[in-house]
């Protein structure tokens, strides 16, 4: 069965330090990949997406992600985090062989330490 | 363009009752998906509607049902509420699902006592 794994449930990092949130998926078919962010007491908001083309994708708020087909990964990175980046981040995969239903990771809480 | 709206935002119900939640998608969006979010289980997919037809379904009991109207507005219903149904219910709309990104509403916080 297809799945999405976010390897870290929580990632603590100091303000202005770089961060990487990891996402791996299991699928042998073509995929679309997404990262969403959920700020406290809010719905989810799209950060960035990969549909095709360049494997390095830039999103909002200075985030970027790289699609690695051989490692089936789509890790999210930011070179310097702000206290305002405190949120939960979700990776999602849309599979061409299951009506493009989104499969979601369990989420990673990004905790910014001052 | 107005975003996805969900009503009500907060709801308190008693075990055994039923509840109906409403979602109005972004204008022009034909796909509406519903999710249940809890601290223990994370984000769980309930179902997706596209042009008034259920296109995808998650692994929830039959007490959870939904429908979509001709104007793309959607409702979900939970019958015979259980304590474990307490959760944030999120609705998301997209142009047609698939590779199109989903736009989420703020959610309905349901508490079952």
Convert the pLDDT of each residue in A2-53 to its tens digit.
789 999 999 999 999 999 999 999 877 778 899 999 998 888 999 999 988 8
Mutation test of the interface with chain B: which of A101, A106, A107, choosing the one with the most B Cβ atoms within 10 A?
A101
Tell me whether residues B33 and A45 touch, CB distance under 8 A. Answer: no
Helices (H) and strands (E) in chain B, counts: 0, 11
Helices (H) and strands (E) in chain A, counts: 0, 12
What pLDDT is attached to residue A105? 93
Q: Nearest CA of chain A to the CA of B18: how many Å?
A: 24
Q: Nearest CA of chain A to the CA of B80: how many Å?
A: 26
Convert the pLDDT of each residue in A45-78 to its tens digit.
999 999 888 899 999 999 999 999 999 999 999 9
Kindly give the parts of chain B with pLDDT less than 70.
Answer: 1, 97-99
Locate the chain B residue with the closest alpha carbon to A51: B99
The residues near A40 (Cβ < 8 Å, ≥ 6 apart) are A86, A87
Q: Enter the DSSP assignment of B73.
A: -
What pLDDT is attached to residue B99? 64
Which of B55, B102, B103 is opposite residue A99, by nearest beta carbon? B55
**To 10 degrees, the CA torsion angle through B30, B79, B105, A86?**
-140
Q: Nearest CA of chain B to the CA of A48: how many Å?
A: 9
Residue A78's nearest CA partner among A38, A11, A21, A30 is A21
CA distances A63 to A19, A41, A50, A82, Å, are 10, 21, 13, 12
Distance from chain centroid for Cα A75: 6
Tell me whether residues A46 and B106 touch, CB distance under 8 A. Answer: no
Convert the pLDDT of each residue in A80-111 to its tens digit.
999 999 999 999 998 776 667 788 999 999 99
Length of chain B: 113
B46 shares contact with chain A (CB less than 8 Å): no
């Amino acid at each position: 069965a297809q799945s999405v794994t976010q390897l870290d449930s929580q990632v603590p990092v100091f303000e202005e330090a770089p961060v990487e949130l990891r996402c791996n998926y299991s699928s042998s078919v073509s995929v679309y990949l997404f990262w969403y962010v959920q700020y406290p007491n809010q719905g989810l908001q799209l950060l960035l997406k990969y549909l095709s083309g360049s494997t390095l994708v830039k999103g909002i708020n200075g985030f970027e992600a790289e699609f690695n087909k051989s490692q089936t990964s789509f890790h999210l990175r930011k070179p310097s985090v702000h206290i305002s980046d405190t949120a939960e981040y979700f990776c999602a995969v849309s599979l061409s062989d299951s009506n493009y239903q989104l499969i979601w990771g369990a989420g990673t809480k990004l905790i910014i330490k001052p | 363009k107005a975003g996805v709206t969900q009503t009500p935002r907060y709801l308190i119900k008693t075990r055994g009752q039923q509840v109906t939640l409403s979602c109005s998608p972004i204008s022009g969006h034909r796909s509406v998906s519903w999710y249940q979010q809890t601290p223990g289980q994370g984000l769980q997919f309930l179902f997706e509607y596209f042009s008034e037809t259920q296109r995808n379904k998650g692994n929830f009991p039959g007490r959870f049902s939904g429908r979509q109207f001709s104007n793309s507005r959607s409702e979900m219903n939970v019958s015979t509420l259980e304590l474990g149904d307490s959760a944030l219910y999120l609705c998301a709309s997209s142009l047609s699902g698939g590779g199109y990104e989903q736009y989420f509403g703020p959610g309905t916080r349901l508490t079952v006592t």
